[in-house]
Amino acid sequence: MAEHPDQVPSYPLGLRLAGLAVLVVGGGAVATRRVPALLDAGAQVRLVAPWITPALRGLVDAGRVSWLDRRFRPADLDGCWLAQVAVDDRVAAAAVSAAARERRVFCVRADDRHAATAWTPAVTRHGPVTVAVLGGGEPRRAMAVRDAVRDLLLSDSPPHEPGVALVGAGPGDPELITVRGRRLLAAADVVIADRLIPGLLLDELRPDVELIDASKIPYGPAAAQEEINRLLIDRAQAGRFVVRLKGGDPYVFGRGGEEAAACAAAGVPVLVVPGVTSAIGAPSAAGVPVTHRGLAQEFTVVSGHVPPGHPDSTVDWGLLGQSRGTLCVLMGLKNLDPIVAALVDGGRAATTPAMLIQEGTTSSQRVVRGTLATIVSTADAAGLRPPAVLVLGDVVTLAPESS
């Protein structure tokens, strides 16, 4: 008795598609999912479909994909090395796979895996390592195995080349660090961590990692930054991979630019991994979109660690007082009173809705609401403490009352 096609083992193979033509037939959700991976592999993607999604149209407009605005013709396969059929019409899909077979072109079919000559595996990528899992035609099984392998790779990262990575840890919730940031953290030999980074991330470090608490460097703010720069360079030049773990985003009031410049001047390779800034993450966690159609078409982020009128302040508080957009103030709790006064003096209405979010996105998050006129007394009565984000603007009214 002949074996069923699905019972015949498949032959795993990694295709090197850089510079080679690949045909994608169909312009819907499946094609939208498949095309980015083909482009990442360097393929020259030809798209054939009478209609495509906005995401695919964006790739066409950017010149990354060529598009034939019509139905498939067999000649479309000429010169192609691979075909991806991403249509639900079984008759149309069969015509594509028949034409591919005649030309000895492997063909992936989204509508019928039994009729395909190639299957798309479940894939996870970990730096230079790509793991592809075939589940015998069962996508859920393949994805489950893929996810298990991904978790294993994240927990057992290979050694990284010496250098420095400036990694944004996000606004407080340890799950809001990026996948790349977490992967680099797992590979670190040295971690220099800010005070406001999620503590649970440090609990996941290998036992042999050198952990340096940047908040305990006893030199004062300016000298401490010089010492951090020295430590980054010293450890990297000693052949170690250093992760500078910073709250929020490294380049949003995090002195990441200074650290990157110091490393570059010393010839130390630097990688910057963006993070979710609390200027957006904290309001979102409290139910406040910083922009909203009809209410705010702009938002401004400023630091409030220097009060208005101070010689070191570069913020034009008077101009901000004239703005109608959303204003997010970081590190401003200590100077809240003069900040409010400067905004009112600049023309911002005292009735402007206001919100303070302490330790946003974490289990300790606290929120107080009021107006520009009342937010100082409300914060004092609530006993708020840093870190806290001040949000001003009509968008505050969109937050649920329970926030």
Catalytic residues: 194, 216
Query: Distance between CA atoms of 264 and 257, rounded to whole angstroms?
Result: 10
Measured N-to-C along each axis, helices 54-61 and 29-40 cross at an angle, to the nearest 10 degrees, of 40
Rg over alpha carbons for the chain, rounded to the nearest Å, is: 27
Measured N-to-C along each axis, helices 221-237 and 256-265 cross at an angle, to the nearest 10 degrees, of 40
DSSP secondary structure letters along 101-112: HHTT-EEEESS-
Q: Which among 131, 132, 23 has a CA at the least distance from the CA of 74?
A: 23
Query: Distance between CA atoms of 84 and 108, rounded to whole angstroms?
Result: 5
Cis peptide before 387 (omega within 30 of 0): yes
Query: Distance between CA atoms of 233 and 399, rounded to whole angstroms?
Result: 45
Structure tokens at 334: 């200590």
Q: Which among 122, 119, 110 has a CA at the least distance from the CA of 137?
A: 119
